[in-house]
């Protein structure tokens, strides 16, 4: 496997994430400088915290179901890349996203 391809891809992802972080910080700063009410600032911070927790939950659930998918592939002893193996991994990802959705809906009640 040629790993030289991943260097430009990871560089692009890092640059994109850095730009997003800077734009988000500037937007927050402008809202604060515009003498926004304390209630607006507090609700923004609480919303960001909730979004971070939900993102962590989503990634945790999806990665856990992908690990189960890889464990099934390993347990069965499948070594060739076939459409069936990709189907198992895609199904694990889909199940993880559905589980996240169910957990998020259940926690909002």
User: How many domains are there within the chain?
Assistant: 2
The SS3 of residue 77 is: coil
Are 57 and 91 in the same domain? yes
Check if the beta carbon of residue 20 is closer than 8 Å to that of residue 36: no
- Characterise 26 by phi-psi region: left (phi > 0), alpha (psi -120 to 50), beta (else): alpha
Name the pLDDT band for 18 (thresholds 50, 70, 90).
very high
Are 51 and 15 in the same domain? no
Residue with tokens 């609700």: 43
Name the pLDDT band for 74 (thresholds 50, 70, 90).
very high
Q: Is the pTM of this model over 0.85?
A: no
pLDDT at 1: 60
Are 77 and 97 in the same domain? yes
Between 38-76 and 6-33, two packed helices, what is the crossing angle to 10 degrees? 160
Are 25 and 77 in the same domain? no
- Report how far Cα 48 is from the mean position of its chain's Cα atoms: 14
């Amino acid at each position: 496997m040629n790993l030289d391809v991943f260097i430009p891809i990871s560089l692009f992802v890092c640059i994109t994430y850095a730009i997003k972080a800077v734009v988000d910080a500037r937007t927050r700063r402008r809202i604060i400088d515009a003498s926004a009410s304390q209630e607006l600032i507090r609700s923004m911070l609480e919303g960001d915290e909730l979004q971070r927790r939900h993102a962590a939950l989503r990634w945790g659930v999806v990665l856990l179901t992908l690990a189960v998918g890889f464990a099934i592939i390993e347990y069965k002893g499948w070594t060739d890349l076939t459409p069936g193996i990709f189907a198992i991994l895609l199904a694990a990802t889909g199940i993880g996203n559905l589980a996240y959705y169910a957990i998020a809906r259940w926690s909002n009640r």
